[in-house]
Amino acid sequence: MAKMTSYILAIDQGTTGTTVAVVDAKGKIKAKANAEYRQIYPQPGWVEHNPEDIWKSVLSMITAAMKKARVKGTDVAAIGITNQRETVVLWDRKSGKAVHHAIVWQDRRTTAYCEELKQSGHESTLRAKTGLVIDPYFSASKIHWLLKHVSGARAKAESGALAVGTIDTFLLWRLTAGQSHKTDVSNASRTQLMNLAKGQWDDELLQLFGVPQSLLPEITASSGEFGRTKGLKILPDGIPIAGIAGDQQAALFGQTCFEVGESKCTFGTGSFLLMNTGSQLIRSTSGLLTTAAWKLKGDSQMTYALEGGAFICGAAVQFLRDQLGFIKSSAEIEKLAKSVKDSGGVEFVPALTGLGAPHWNPEARGVICGLTRGTTRAHIARATLEAMALQNTEILLAMQKDLNGALRSVRVDGGAAANNMLMQLQADYLGVDVVRPRMIETTVAGAAYLAGLGVGFWSDRSEIKKVWQIDKLFQPNFASTARAERLERWALAMRRALIR
């Protein structure tokens, strides 16, 4: 056990904002700080971030969180990073500056290119090697686009002058003053360039997407030393960065889903269901993904997971707030939705950036239907919360089909997990218990746990397991017939979203 005076600094670099938390030896957050940053939409369907905005948000939130916690840099035992996963940055190795904005996981600009790959018959090979479907969601087509469209990028990449990575890799590079160019298996598995069985970059995939291997980071375990801080004004040199995982895998780890069959659902910008399948690499036949969950220092094998995700979850509430002006703050949604007994027949399919699992249709568009003269803002607010739960239900049903068995419960986390009404709807539609832990910032927890294990802050997973505690259990109240009827109405609305 670590000394009580030392802490883990956990960086959660998300799609719409950055959170930094100071975590103590009991796994509790001593202090945290969060800031949103710019979302850039150059064209319909395109989503970008300025990497400098991300970097500044990380530095400022580290400063703010440490100030709140009254912790000095010398008190930090290790740093953990969790991140929005498929988002990619291409940067100059010498200057450390990005040559283009980061292309965000939600971005759909490579839809036509992905369709060409499908038409050329590459889907089965990609699925077999990576566990993923061909979709603009993943990093490989984004890297291909950058190398093709950024002036001089191809030549510089082939000469070794550029580096590429997901956000974890970019932050690691900056934190270590360019001394470390690495990623972990969970992030690498989302690029569509890693062979999932081998845990290594795949030569055939690199050739298919036209990505020189010299561009790419080294793939390592998720826990262990990635590098040490260097040249930062806000932190002393030499602090180990000792844990990295993509946000959804970090949440699975933070929920202490260490055993085969344990699952979690994160309610963030999107919503993501992951189930631990252990060392077994399960091939989905129901539109789900197979992904690397993590690999711990000293483990001979990776831990795998089945995954399904909806691209828009909490972002649907932001859409009501920012684009439609229905609410002034996201927190208002629950009160507004509770003011009506149901959605009044309104359905909202938030396919605002296409549809993910199990449909994988980048051309799908959002639909609000079932409107009447009696429809109010409250009905649309209620339909929005219902949609967030119904999307997850579709994914869970697909997961049960792959596993040939029902789940007993699902652990939930993320900002929207604090919404009691949404959690009850989720239990009702799923027909299984929904379990909310006391600490819903499980992405932060996962990053902290991985970093702590990497430096011996915690000795093993059993020590971490003792930290996890239940806050509230939501049990289903729907009769099976009512559930079936509700899912049928949702399926009808979903078909409308798929028609163009």
DSSP secondary structure string, 159-179? HT-EEEEEHHHHHHHHHTTT-
Contacts of 121 (CB under 8 A, 6+ apart): none
C-alpha 392 chain-centroid distance: 15
pLDDT tens digits for range 100-111: 999 999 899 999
Structure confidence at residue 1 (pLDDT): 46
Is there a contact between 8 and 77 (Cβ–Cβ < 8 Å)? yes
Q: What are 131's two structure tokens?
A: 């566990």
Identify any residues that bridge with 470 across adjacent strands, giving them in sequence order. Answer: 437
Mean pLDDT of 242-263: 93
Write down the pTM of the prediction. Answer: 0.87
Alpha carbon 425 to its chain centroid, in Å, reads: 22
Cα–Cα distance, 135 to 411 (Å, whole number): 28
DSSP string covering 216-264, please?
A: SPEEE-SEEEEEE--S-SSS-TT-EEEEEEEHHHHHHHHTT--STT-EE
Domains of the chain, first to last: 7-248 (3.30.420.40)
Q: What is the pLDDT of residues 200-231, one digit of tens each?
A: 999 999 999 999 999 999 999 999 999 999 99
CB 84 within 8 A of CB 158: no
Report how far residue 372's alpha carbon sits from residue 403's, in angstroms, rounded to the nearest whole number.
41
**Calpha distance 97→89 (Å, rounded):** 10
Task: List, for residues 3-62, the tens digit of each pLDDT value.
Answer: 546 999 999 999 989 999 999 998 899 999 999 999 999 998 899 999 999 999 999 999
Helix or strand (DSSP H, E) at 433: strand 433-437
Q: What percent of the chain has pLDDT over 70?
A: 99
Tokens of 60: 């400022």
Phi then psi for 442, rounded to 5 degrees? -80, -20
Q: Cα separation of 404 and 410, whole Å?
A: 17
Q: How many CA atoms lie within 13 A of 209 on its CB side?
A: 30
User: Strand pairing of 200-201 and 194-195?
Assistant: antiparallel
Yes or no: say if 82 and 26 are a contact pair by the CB < 8 Å rule: no
Compute the average pLDDT of residues 403-428.
88
Tell whether the model's pLDDT for residue 500 goes beyond 70: no
pLDDT tens profile 152-211: 999 999 999 999 999 999 999 999 999 999 999 999 999 999 999 999 999 999 999 999
- The answer to whether 56 touches 50, Cβ cutoff 8 Å, is no
Count Cα neighbours of 301 within 13 Å in the Cβ-side half-sphere. Answer: 8
Round to whole Å and give the CA distance between 290 and 270. Answer: 18
97 pLDDT more than 60: yes
Instruction: Name the token pair of 213.
Output: 């291997």
Lowest mean pLDDT among 347-351, 385-389, 407-411: 407-411
